[in-house]
Amino acid sequence: MNQNRKKLTPMPVYPFPFVIDELEPIRPTIKRMFGFTYVYLGEMLLCALRNSVKQPGSNGVWLFTTTEHIDSLGREFPELSRHYHWKSGNNAWIILASRLEHFEEYAYKACELMLNGDRRIGRVTRGHR
């Protein structure tokens, strides 16, 4: 065996890899923490992906936004109940739950919005304020 051969490191496996593939043109930074895969563009946190066996109720694509934009952003996903709109202070999330009938359609729509630079998606994280 050749001692000079480099070991290939396996490519990471992300939840809902089609989302990462769709966002590749904007060259996002991907980080994993707390059971989520976070997608950043510069210092903006755009979304998080979650696919947990232990907590399937929170699986899907979490779009990060602000309370200012949550209602207009929510209208982009017409069949999504307000149950999937979360707020805390000025922070807000729209959760595209993977168990929903239109999940993939909504996830692709969210990717399209992010690729087009929709300012309603994303917020500066605490560490970058």
Question: Does a structural domain hold residue 2?
Answer: no
Question: Does a structural domain hold residue 6?
Answer: no
Question: Does a structural domain hold residue 7?
Answer: no
Query: CB 91: neighbour CB atoms within 10 A?
Result: 14
Closest by CA to 63, choosing from 101, 16, 27, 127, is 16
Inter-CA distances, 77 with 70, 98, 102, 103, Å = 11, 14, 9, 10
Question: Does a structural domain hold residue 12?
Answer: no
For the chain, give the mean pLDDT. 90
Question: Does a structural domain hold residue 103?
Answer: yes
Q: Considering the entire predicted model, what is its pTM?
A: 0.86
Total of domains in the chain: 1
Interval 14-62: pLDDT, tens: 899 999 999 999 999 999 998 899 999 999 999 999 999 988 888 999 9
| Residue numbers of the domain that contains 64 | 17-124
Question: Does a structural domain hold residue 96?
Answer: yes
CA–centroid distance for 76 within its chain: 16
Sorting pLDDT into bands at 50, 70 and 90, what band is 128?
very low
What number of H helices and E strands is found in the chain?
Answer: 3, 7
**Is beta strand 36-41 parallel, antiparallel or unpaired with respect to 29-33?**
antiparallel
Question: Does a structural domain hold residue 58?
Answer: yes
